[in-house]
């Protein structure tokens, strides 16, 4: 009997969270969007933060790949286009979370490893090196995305998330950001008239969003 009870308890624990129209202590859910004024402000906040990621990631990796300004512009354009398409897909057909799907810093470390491979360092032509490196990065991203898709469809990630808590996730994200500090911050000095105002504006937006939301309510 004890084994049967343990099996029943295990089945109950693995059962997914039931779908609810409105969660407790959550101001806006999927079926309760904010007013237009607040929605525009929150959307602009997402846009500013995401724009920094989209510009910063190519600024870090493209010069290491042998690319110049033209290649950097193409990568930024590609990220902007794919970010918009992915955001629309997840808004209408996916999780419908109120966020912008953009580039991730989690891939910078493996991408940097690919860029620094010996088979690319022997290429003397910068454009040829950029092309071959980009092809290898694209292939690696396709394979890794297939692995993530399998984790999502099989429900394995749901069991892993239960073992994580904010105490473990927050230090990981913080250390990842601090590890990229030496790469991103020197780029501000190269174009201070754009980088410094954007940095100040981003800090103000992130810190004052709660105050503005309180005033609008």
DSSP 1-26: -HHHHHHHHHHHHHSPPPP-SS-TT-
pLDDT of amino acid 166? 67
Range of weakest confidence among 6-15, 25-34, 121-130: 6-15
Token pair, residue 128, equals 């040829």
Range of weakest confidence among 45-49, 80-84, 116-120, 126-130: 45-49
Mean pLDDT rounded to a whole number for the chain: 76
> Domain limits of the chain?
34-216
In this predicted model, which residue has the larger pLDDT, 213 or 68?
68
pLDDT of amino acid 160? 76
pLDDT of amino acid 21? 59
Per-residue model confidence as pLDDT tens digits over 73-87: 899 888 889 888 888
- Measured in Å, how far apart are the chain's first and last C-alpha atoms? 55
Token pair, residue 204, equals 């103000």
Tokens 């129209």 belong to 21
Three-point CA angle 49, 50, 52, nearest 5°: 70
* pLDDT of 105 strictly over 60: yes
Per-residue model confidence as pLDDT tens digits over 148-193: 888 878 877 777 777 777 677 777 777 766 766 766 677 777 777 8
Tokens 């239960």 belong to 162
Confidence tier at 213 by pLDDT (50, 70, 90): low
Largest CA distance in the chain: 72
């Amino acid at each position: 009997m004890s084994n049967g009870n343990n099996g029943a308890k295990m089945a109950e624990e693995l059962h997914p969270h039931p779908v609810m129209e409105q969660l407790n202590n959550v101001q806006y859910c999927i079926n309760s969007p904010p007013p237009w004024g607040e929605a525009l402000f929150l959307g602009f906040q997402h846009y500013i933060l995401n724009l920094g990621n989209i510009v910063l990631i190519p600024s870090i990796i493209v010069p290491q790949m042998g690319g110049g300004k033209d290649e950097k512009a193409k990568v930024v354009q590609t990220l902007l286009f794919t970010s918009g398409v992915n955001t629309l897909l997840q808004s209408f057909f996916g999780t419908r979370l109120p966020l912008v799907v953009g580039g991730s810093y989690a891939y910078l470390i493996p991408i940097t490893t690919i860029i620094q491979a010996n088979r690319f360092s022997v290429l003397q032509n910068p454009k040829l090196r950029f092309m071959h490196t980009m092809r290898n990065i694209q292939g690696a991203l396709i394979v890794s995305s297939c692995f993530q898709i399998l984790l999502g469809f099989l429900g394995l990630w749901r069991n892993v998330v239960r073992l994580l808590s904010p105490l473990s996730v927050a230090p990981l994200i913080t250390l990842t950001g601090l590890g990229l500090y030496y790469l991103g911050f020197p780029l501000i000095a190269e174009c201070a008239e754009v980088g410094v105002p954007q940095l100040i504006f981003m800090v103000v937006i992130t810190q004052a969003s709660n105050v503005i939301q309180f005033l609008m309510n």
